[in-house]
């Protein structure tokens, strides 16, 4: 708790109130810096990942650089709240920042994709606290009537990071070196000054008193969740290499399913101490909309993990150019947020916004499914803008839809489930879709080269020793037999355009599979979201005073 006169309310008296509000603004700055760091890290790395993977010779392993981060952040999110209840918000938040900064430095020093995946997992441990504790500290600081105004700042941080991240990631990836380190490593080093500033502000301004209350930790549920997630994701990652029917793959799937059963049993046995209290799932609204949340998370994160590869590998854009091409998507997210929030607040209706967002996302992903090596970039930009607008509409109101199915005593856990299930879906989506792409690309490229045998320009290039004798072209021609180089794609910058066209065509076809599957998943989510009857929220009334405590009703649509 903070040292305000009353938890969640400003101190009385105009002078004390002014001091308290200044301190709140400073604390908000620290929280926003922490959130910005965590949100930026996801977007900045996506734009730089191809360059990172090429440098570390591990393009086919890149999914683990994202999934390890998301797994650890999902698992630790639920723990930070209980730890902060016992030991106080300030030390636990500063610990989360320290872990995140340490992970960032280790990532910048990584010498292989395996080490990068491990260090990204350390980053994720810290990220779980940065996101969950920001809302906990805000709850301590301000009354309910003012809280939505500050929560809007949190939403703005994600919008800003979505705009800055791809451009900054492309910029760093495009630098050969800076201050003695490879350019992409600064995509991680940038977290050090941001994290130090956030920790210093929170450490000096947040004053907490630990609640010496014994909390039961759902250790069994946590361990079962690890047993469930890690084997399943590892099976998906290695399935194309080992074979889906191989003993090792089947054993991992069996272990993951056993972990799922163990997790469900642990949640039932833990009762109120569970990571996800089971009584919440008795409400069909809560269960259905969280199912939609998982599907949307998987489809969006999975598809958007492949789109930067299309822009850089198939279209030949630099990392910076690819980052700029993502701006229509981020602009769509920001604009949609400005439209959806006021609409839901004024009308109390959320379902039409959610369904509209899903429709736009379905259209966008199937549009992505038509992309080839010859598709104009303006078409890709429009599809990305539609995707972003759909995401902004959908996720802006998804939390509201989930809250309508949660009873008041489980509201905190219900709100936490939004991030939990979205991250679960996103983690699985990245692993599954990238595995799907890398599993299909060799066959698609080989088939494309077989079809190219009737192309006179390709035949002339193949029969020209001055072309086939070049090192990059030798690597490329090996793909005709299915030997597609997946760990270092930098040779594409030096190949003959006649020889590379079938290669790019096959790559695009493999990516199309991912986008079409993503579209089908979103279509299922759309149908599922249309089933529950809307539980209308009352439109928000203007509060009679700022923080006067007279209006304890949370305004609709401003969560």
Domain presence at residue 25: yes
CA nearest neighbour of 306 among 163, 140, 430: 430
The residue behind tokens 């991250």 is 423
User: Among the three residues 250, 274, 298, which one is the final residue of a domain in this structure?
Assistant: 274
Q: What is the pLDDT of residue 5?
A: 36
In Å, how far are 89, 92, 221, 222, 456 from 83, measured between CA atoms?
8, 7, 16, 14, 68
Buried b (16+ CB within 10 A) or exposed e, 175-196: beeeeeebbbbbbbbbbeebbe
Last residue of a domain, one of 216, 250, 265: 216
Q: What integer pLDDT is reported at residue 29 of this predicted model?
A: 87
Residues 52, 166 share a domain: yes
φ, ψ for residue 512, nearest 5 deg: -60, -35
* Helix residue ranges, H only, 369-487: 377-403, 411-451, 456-462, 465-468, 471-477
Count structural domains, the chain.
2
Structural domain of residue 127, as residue ranges?
1-216
Looking at the domain assignment, is residue 480 inside a domain? no
Same domain, 14 and 103: yes
Residue at 462 is within a domain: no
Q: How far apart are CA 427 and CA 530, in angstroms?
A: 25
Quote the pLDDT of residue 159. Answer: 58
Residues 248 and 229 in one domain: yes
Q: Is residue 386 part of a domain?
A: no
What is the pLDDT at residue 147? Answer: 55
Residue 521 lies in a domain: no
For residue 365, being part of any structural domain is answered with no
Burial class (CB in 10 A: 0-12, 13-18, 19+), 252: buried
Q: Could you tell me if 119 and 265 lie in one domain?
A: no
Residue 62: predicted pLDDT = 65
pLDDT of residue 379: 92
Helix, coil or strand: residue 549? coil
Burial 381-392 (b: 16+ CB within 10 A, else e): bebbbbbbbbbb
Residue 524, pLDDT score? 95
Pair 360, 389: CB distance under 8 Å:
yes
Q: Which pLDDT value is given to residue 162?
A: 61
Residues sharing a CB contact under 8 Å with residue 275, sequence separation 6 or more, in sequence order? 78, 218, 221, 222, 225, 267, 420
The predicted structure's pLDDT at residue 101: 93
Beta carbons within 8 Å of 338's beta carbon, 6+ residues apart: none
Q: Are residues 79 and 174 in the same domain?
A: yes
Could you read off the pLDDT tens digit of each residue along the chain, which spans 559 residues? 443 334 444 433 444 454 477 778 888 888 888 888 887 777 677 667 777 777 777 666 666 777 788 778 877 876 776 677 667 778 888 999 999 999 999 988 888 888 888 898 899 899 888 877 877 777 677 765 565 566 657 766 765 666 677 677 777 777 777 776 777 888 888 889 999 998 898 888 876 554 444 556 677 887 888 888 778 877 776 676 677 778 888 898 899 899 889 988 888 887 766 777 777 777 788 888 888 988 998 898 888 888 888 888 888 887 677 777 878 887 887 788 778 767 776 777 788 888 999 999 999 999 999 998 889 999 999 999 999 889 888 876 776 777 676 666 565 566 667 777 877 787 778 778 877 888 788 888 888 888 888 888 888 888 888 777 787 777 777 777 766 666 666 677 778 888 888 888 888 999 999 999 999 999 999 999 988 887 665 554 443 333 333 333 333 333 3
Check whether residue 262 and residue 114 sit in a common domain.
no
- φ and ψ at 452, to 5 degrees? -75, -10
Residues 97 and 21 grouped into a single domain = yes
Clarify whether residues 233 and 183 are in a common domain: no
13 and 109 assigned to the same domain: yes
Does residue 248 lie in a domain region? yes
Containing 104, the helix (H) or strand (E) segment is helix 89-108
Q: Which two tokens stand for residue 96?
A: 């989360």
pLDDT of residue 151: 61
CA dihedral 11, 553, 78, 9 (to 10 degrees): 0
| Claim to verify: residue 161 and residue 225 sit in the same structural domain | no
pTM: 0.73
Same domain, 80 and 226: no
The reply to whether 242 and 209 lie within a common domain is no
Pairing of strands 177-178, 181-182: antiparallel
Whether 420 is in a domain gets the answer: no
Concatenated DSSP letters for 113-165?
HHHHHHHHHHHHHHHHHHHHHHHHHHHHHS-HHHHHHHHHHHHHHHHHHHHHH
Say what the pLDDT of residue 218 is: 73
**Which of 208, 243, 274 lies at the terminal end of a domain, its last residue?**
274
Looking up residue 16, the CATH number of its domain turns out to be 1.20.1250.20
- Both tokens assigned to 463: 């029969």
């Amino acid at each position: 708790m903070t040292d305000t006169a009353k938890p969640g309310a400003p101190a009385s008296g105009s002078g004390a109130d002014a001091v308290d509000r200044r301190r709140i603004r400073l604390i908000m700055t620290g929280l926003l810096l922490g959130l910005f760091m965590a949100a930026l890290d996801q977007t900045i790395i996506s734009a730089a990942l191809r360059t990172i993977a090429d440098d570390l010779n591990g393009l086919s392993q890149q999914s683990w650089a994202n999934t390890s981060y998301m797994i650890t952040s999902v698992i630790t999110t639920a723990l930070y709240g209980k730890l902060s209840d016992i030991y106080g918000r300030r030390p636990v938040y500063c610990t989360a920042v320290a872990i995140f900064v340490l992970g960032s430095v280790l990532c910048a020093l990584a010498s292989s994709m395996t080490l990068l995946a491990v260090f990204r997992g350390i980053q994720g441990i810290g990220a779980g606290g940065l996101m969950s504790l920001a809302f906990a500290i805000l709850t301590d600081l301000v009354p309910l009537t003012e809280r939505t105004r500050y929560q809007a700042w949190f939403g703005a941080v994600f919008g800003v990071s979505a705009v800055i991240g791809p451009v900054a990631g492309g910029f760093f990836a495009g630098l050969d070196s800076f201050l003695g380190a490879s350019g992409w490593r600064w995509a991680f080093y940038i977290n050090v000054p941001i994290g130090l500033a956030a920790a210093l502000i929170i450490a000096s301004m947040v004053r907490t008193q630990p609640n010496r209350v014994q909390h039961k930790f759902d250790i069994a549920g946590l361990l079962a969740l690890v047993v469930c997630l890690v084997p399943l994701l590892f099976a998906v990652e290695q399935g194309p290499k080992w074979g889906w029917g191989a003993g090792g793959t089947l054993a991992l799937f069996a272990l993951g399913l056993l972990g799922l059963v163990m997790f469900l049993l642990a949640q039932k046995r833990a009762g109120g101490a569970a990571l996800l209290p089971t009584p919440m799932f008795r409400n069909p609204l809560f269960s259905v909309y969280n199912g939609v949340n998982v599907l949307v998370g998987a489809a969006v994160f999975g598809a958007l993990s492949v789109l930067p590869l299309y822009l850089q590998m198939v279209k030949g854009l630099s990392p910076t150019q690819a980052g700029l091409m993502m701006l229509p998507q981020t602009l769509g997210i920001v604009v949609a947020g400005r439209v959806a929030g006021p609409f839901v607040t004024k009308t109390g209706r959320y379902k039409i916004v959610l369904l509209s967002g899903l429709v736009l996302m379905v259209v966008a992903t199937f549009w992505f499914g038509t992309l080839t090596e010859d598709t104009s970039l303006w078409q890709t930009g429009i599809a990305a803008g539609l995707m972003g607008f759909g995401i902004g509409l959908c996720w802006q109101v998804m939390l509201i839809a989930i809250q309508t199915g949660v009873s008041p005593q489980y509201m905190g856990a219900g709100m936490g489930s939004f991030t939990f299930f979205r991250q679960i879906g996103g983690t699985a989506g990245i692993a599954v879709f990238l595995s799907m792409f890398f599993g299909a690309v060799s066959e698609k490229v080989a088939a494309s080269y077989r079809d190219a045998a009737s192309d006179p320009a390709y035949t002339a290039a193949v029969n020209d020793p001055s072309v086939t004798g070049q090192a990059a072209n030798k690597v490329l021609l090996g793909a005709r037999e299915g030997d597609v180089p997946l760990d270092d794609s930098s040779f594409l910058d030096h190949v003959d355009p006649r020889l590379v066209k079938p290669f790019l065509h096959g790559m695009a076809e493999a990516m199309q599979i991912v986008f079409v599957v993503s579209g089908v998943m979103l279509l299922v989510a759309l149908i599922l979201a249309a089933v529950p009857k809307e539980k209308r929220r009352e439109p928000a009334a203007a509060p009679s005073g700022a923080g006067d405590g007279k209006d304890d009703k949370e305004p609709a649509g401003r969560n």
